[in-house]
Structure 1
Amino acid sequence: MSMIKTALSGVAAALLSAATVAPVAAEQPVQANDFIKLFEQLSGKQPGVRKAHARGLCASGSFVPNPSEYFIDAPLLTQGELPVTMRFSIGGGNPAADERAPGTRGMGMQITLADGSRHIFTGNNFPVFAGKDPQTFFGLISTFLPDEQGQRDPKRTMEYAEKHPSVKANLAWQQSAGTAASYANTAFFGLHTFFYNKDDAEQTKFRWKLIPELGEKTLSEEETQNMDADFLADRMKRQLAEGEVSFRLVAAIGQPGDSNTDPSVQWPEDREQVELGRVQLSGAGGEQCTPINFDPNVLSAGFKPSDDPVLRMRSAAYAISFGKRLSGQ
């Protein structure tokens, strides 16, 4: 029971003002707009903001690539230093989410190449997704909806997890997750499988991770008690003033038996790790992220997404959220 209560605060972080509706069974097909509606039911109508990861901090910097034999002639890695726009965020659709709460943190990063093309990386601080496919994930978050009396029932989530084991690894992570001490001290996982194949070269299968060079750090419940609910922006700006804030972009090279399509399953830890480059931030704050849709399927030349159904669903859901946000809905 404690695992599910903690998971509720993580997976459904800051999902307040929820409407009372009946959940949709995971076995039913779901569309991107179903997710948008569900997020709005969980977090209430929040016009003009992102429907997920609503509270965030924009940052800017540069990407210095590290060419690799696995990614020969990739423009992303052969054009020298490139500009970066990043957005760090809190899970959930509440733009006033309490940053002292443990659980989900997100990251979107846009690297702009010399020809104006873009490569977008979108990740979270958990290493596995909460479900093997969109239907399973939708069913899980539907269990967070309140009943007719306005009460959430953790037992429903427990029962759902027993019937849908692909959600268990993420729920277990949520149980142990602390509060991020800073976005600069948080690692982010791409979760999905991608491929690189330039010309006639051998195809490379990989999953990426962004590793903070300041080290990973979380806060205990006691440490958060005297902190402000919006401490993350100030902490990032202070760290930038004190020195470098940087990350290493690393690719785990997949083997034939590693899953291409299931983001709820981690690859073995012994997979070869290849450094793709270094991201260094120069500033934080501002609205430069506002016109950006951080769609993880926007890739530079030579790269392509896998057939992961969760990854495919993200493009459509992000596009709907983007349109609603820019139109003030």
Structure 2
Amino acid sequence: MNIVFQKKYQGSSLACASVLALGLVSMSGSALAQQAPESVSANDFIQLFAKLGGEHAGMRKAHARGVCAVGSFAPASDAAQYSSSALFTLDEVPAQIRFSLGGPNPVADEREPGTRGVGIQLSLPDGGKYHITGNNTPVFTGKDPETFFGFLETLLPDENGKPNPAKTGAYIAANPSVMPALAYARSNPAPASFSRSDYFGIHTFFFENAQGEQTKFRWHLVPDAGPLGLTAQESASMPSEFLEQRLKDEIADGSVSFTLMAAIGNETDSVIDPSQQWPAERPSIAMGKLTVTEAGGQACNPTNFDPNIVPSGIKTSDDPVLKMRSPAYGISFGKRLSNQ
């Protein structure tokens, strides 16, 4: 759902509009300030995405530009102390992967800073699936779907045909849970590769053991080669489309892998607010290693990477943003399959 930072819109990027808006948050007393809507639906989001980015038949309504990949996941035994999932007793399972840019633009400029995403489907021998879906930002743009939706609405063109950064700044001031994600995006350069970016789950999940005891966690996919961003000069020297070929070259060199980590939360850590980042000192365990062995092709296109699909031994939370993802992804999936 996070489409904010990677869409060219009437000659200027939404990332730039958001950055400018951060300089205008002192306008909270302005008549421009507004509150989030009382309620929104999944279809409201799909319609708003189309207004922001245009209609692209047969494409994902968010994270439209991406590359398929395949690989394997070698689970770590550390998680077995918390979870009864059979996943953590296996040596290796196949992984279907999709790396992507945020936004509805299927030809987005890959040199631009902004959202990078990953969707992973792990297939267990018993037919179970585990979907691991996240972005390169550790927090979400708002505490709930309504706050996020209200922020996106401020990016629509006004009567002059252009977004009004002052309106966006006033909204941020009135809805401060939007600010952490925007501030992080402002300081985060364009990744040099899909393989050199961190990815974060942002939502709280629960490990569940055989006794029914639950332990809350948030996952973080760490690139084994380390994160690496492009400087402005390096970005300017790159073609607008380079990430797929770079990933293929890295795979040919045998150098693409990630470690999936889980931060273990305590009783004070939010379960339902993805705009709040847990403290960095929380203990963490390894859930396993993801190795990418091939990139390209269309194998991942029919897959709906819904993060609410989890195996036995892992439970979802009541995070309202996480709950909204299933119907929003489902609508997008149906439109894509019917070439809408």
Normalized against structure 1, the TM-score is what?
0.93
Aligned residue among 52, 65, 77 for 1:42: 52
| C-alpha contact 1:17 1:44 (8 A) present in aligned 2 | no
Alignment-derived partner of residue 194 in structure 2: 183
Shift of residue 244, structure 1, vs aligned partner: 2.3
1:310 equivalent in structure 2:
321
2:113 is aligned to 102
Greater shift after overlay, 175-184 or 71-80? Answer: 71-80
Inter-CA distance 139–161: structure 2 relative to 1 (3 Å threshold): same
**Aligned-partner Cα distance in 2 for 1:15–1:139:** 20
In the alignment, which residue of structure 1 is the partner of 2:270?
A: 259
What is the percent sequence identity of the aligned residues?
A: 50
Q: Give the aligned length.
A: 316
Asked whether 1:60 is paired with 2:53, we answer: no
Shift of 1:197: 1.2
Match of 1:174 in 2: 185
1:14 aligns with 2:18: no
Shift of 1:182: 0.2
* One-letter amino acid matched to 1:227: M
Cα-Cα RMSD? 1.6
Describe the SS at the equivalent of 1:38. helix
Q: CA deviation at 1:70?
A: 3.5
SS of structure 1 residue aligned to 2:160: coil
**What is the match of residue 283 of structure 1?**
294
For residues 8 and 273 of structure 2, the distance between their equivalents in structure 1, rounded to whole angstroms, comes to: 26
SS of the aligned residue for 1:219 comes to coil
CA separation in 1, counterparts of 2:160 and 2:115?
27
Please list, as runs of the form range in 1=range in 2, the aligned pairs for 1:80-91 lying within 5 A after superposition.
Answer: 80-91=91-102
Structure 1 partner of 2:16: none
Over residues 251-305 of structure 1, what are the superposed CA-to-partner deviations in whole Å (9 max), with x where a residue is unaligned? 0001011000000000011000100100001100011111100000000011111
* Secondary structure at the counterpart of residue 121 of structure 2: strand
Q: CA deviation at 1:193?
A: 0.2
2:37 aligned to which of 27, 46, 60: 27
What is aligned with 1:246? Answer: 257
Amino acid at match of 1:247: F
Structure 1 residue runs without a partner (length 5+): 1-7, 19-23
Match of residue 3 from structure 1: none
Residues 34-62 of structure 1: CA deviation (Å, up to 9, x unaligned): 00000011110100000000000111000
Q: What residue number does 1:117 align with?
A: 128
Q: Could you tell me which residue of structure 1 aligns to residue 156 of structure 2?
A: 145
Q: Take 1:79 and 1:299, find their aligned partners in 2: how far apart are those partners?
A: 16
DSSP-derived class of the 1:116 partner: coil
Distance 1:73 1:303 in 2: 8
Distance 1:293 1:211 in 2: 23
1:206 aligns with 2:199: no
Q: CA deviation at 1:15?
A: 4.7
Note if contact 1:249-1:276 (Cα within 8 Å) is conserved in structure 2. yes
Over 3 Å off, 4+ runs: 15-18
**Which one-letter code corresponds to 1:13 in the other structure?**
Q
1:156 matched to 2:149? The reply is no
Tell me the CA shift for residue 242 of structure 1: 1.4
1-structure distance, mates of 2:311, 2:261 = 17
How do 1:189-200 and structure 2 match up within 5 A? 189-200=200-211
SS at match of 1:11: coil
How far the C-alpha of 1:74 sits from its partner, in A, is 1.6
2:49/2:62 contact within 8 Å kept:
yes
The alpha carbon displacement at 1:153 in A equals: 1.0
Equivalent residues of 2:87, 2:124 under 8 A apart: yes
1:196-247 residue CA offsets vs partner (Å, 9 max, x unmatched): 2133153111000000001100001111112111100011011111122000
Partner of 1:131: 142
> Helix, strand or coil: the match of 2:186?
helix
CA 1:43–1:17: 2 relative to 1, 3 Å? farther
Amino acid at match of 2:4: V
SS of residue in 1 equivalent to 2:203: coil
Distance 2:10 2:334 in 1: 23
CA distance in 2: counterparts of 1:316 and 1:259, whole angstroms: 23
Give the C-alpha shift of residue 176 in structure 1.
0.9
The corresponding residue for 1:21 is: none
Tell me by how many angstroms 1:25 deviates.
Answer: 5.6
CA contact (8 A) 2:223 2:259 kept: yes
| SS state at 1:121 partner | strand
Q: Is the 8 A contact 1:246 1:279 kept in 2?
A: yes
Cα distance between partner residues in 1 of 2:178 and 2:288: 32
Structure 1 residue 17: Cα displacement: 6.4
TM-score normalised by L of structure 2: 0.90
